[in-house]
Amino acid sequence: MPRTLALTGSTGFIGAALLRKLIRAGWNVRALHRQPFLRPRPEMGCGAIQWIHGCLEDSESLHHLVQGTEAVVHCAGAIRGATAAEFRRVNVEGVMRLVQACRKVRPFPRWVLISSLAAREPHLSDYAGSKREGEDALQSAASDMMRTVLRPPAVYGPGDRETLPLVRSMQFGVSPVLGRRNSRFSMLFVEDLADAVGRLLEAAAPRAGATFEIHDGRNGGYTWADLIQTVARVIRKPIRPFRIPDAVLYAVARGNLLMARVFGYAPMLTPGKVRELTHPDWVCNDTELRRATGWSPRFLLEAGMRQTLQQLRHGRWAAE
Ligand SMILES: NC(=O)c1ccc[n+]([C@@H]2O[C@H](COP(=O)([O-])OP(=O)(O)OC[C@H]3O[C@@H](n4cnc5c(N)ncnc54)[C@H](OP(=O)(O)O)[C@@H]3O)[C@@H](O)[C@H]2O)c1
């Protein structure tokens, strides 16, 4: 009999890739969505998705979501916001509400929480702080459940609206460089993240409450120069880097935050985001994850960028 899991965030960039992967892996997926109208996605196969209308603020919909499931993959999250409270409401209280919903299911479903490498540096921003607090909330509220926390670094791939402006500017032959030139960061192609979640769900119970870092297999990560040269190779065109001074970034971010508070939208570029973007070390280590699951990534940066740019050329960018 097909097994059933609950997935949150499947209308977003990473969640859409998880949904495709998990259905292909044979799971019946109960997927939370808060959009009033959802277009069917025929390429995913039929019958394996059950859409549950609701949101992380609504306990009743979460109870409905997790009924009859043996696993929960919690990917929904606030990645932009103007205040700490906005991030907390989704990234912390959302986790707690979903754990409460799981208490009524027997046996308890197994949890995979999509956190973020940002949680390693919670002091940098409201987002980072809320991701760490969300992890802590899971570890304490679900201490009697099987649970794993995954901390992806910068994830890229088709459908990612946040990296689209950077990709576009590289296609035009220029690329901003943020922070120090020698800053290093790990990266991950979205399909490899989805594979890892699939593996985690199949793995024998990893260490209770394990927190795993994950990256694309490039130990020591990338510099801006590595990223720019790789994309230049893929598009077969030189890309000229230009460094944006931190002071300019902070000035724009402060202006954006002010506008967001006045006009009531959720901003991406805030002073906290600038502190994240200019942090010199976002390199992570996936040894523990590989050991626990046997997972290994398939896409180094060049292969992942090739796929990403191919999809962009074919106009397939919106989360599918
Ligand atoms: N992208 C990255 O590089 C990256 C790196 C590390 C970790 N992460 C984590 O990965 C997760 C997904 O990120 P993403 O880049 O895919 O973001 P995204 O495209 O903005 O997707 C966010 C998803 O969460 C849902 N969501 C947000 N608030 C919700 C609420 N209150 N109730 C129900 N659903 C809600 C959104 O639903 P709607 O479609 O209705 O808005 C959407 O499906 C987040 O937890 C993020 O922290 C992302």
Domain regions of the chain by residue span:
4-152+190-214+284-297
- The residue with tokens 């902070």 is 250
pTM: 0.95
pLDDT digits (tens, 9 = 90+) for 186-231: 999 999 999 999 999 998 876 679 999 999 999 999 999 999 999 9
Q: For residue 155, which atom of ligand 1 is closest to its CA?
A: 3
- Average pLDDT of the segment spanning 46-57: 87
Query: How crowded is residue 134: how many other Cβ atoms within 10 Å of its Cβ?
Result: 27
pLDDT exceeds cutoff 50 at 309: yes
Determine the distance separating the centroid of ligand 1 and the alpha carbon of 246, expressed in angstroms: 27
CATH 3.40.50.720 fits 4-152+190-214+284-297, yes or no: yes
pLDDT digits (tens, 9 = 90+) for 179-189: 888 999 999 99
Determine the distance separating the centroid of ligand 1 and the alpha carbon of 30, expressed in angstroms: 17
210: DSSP letter: E
For residues 287 and 266, the answer to whether their CB atoms sit within 8 Å is: no
The overall average pLDDT reported for the chain is 93
pLDDT of 320: 43
Determine the distance separating the centroid of ligand 1 and the alpha carbon of 120, expressed in angstroms: 18
Please report, as a single letter, which amino acid is at residue 301.
Answer: L
For residues 240 and 265, the answer to whether their CB atoms sit within 8 Å is: no
The Cα-based distances of 274 to 248, 254, 255, 260 in angstroms read 10, 10, 13, 16
Q: For residue 77, which atom of ligand 1 is closest to its CA?
A: 45
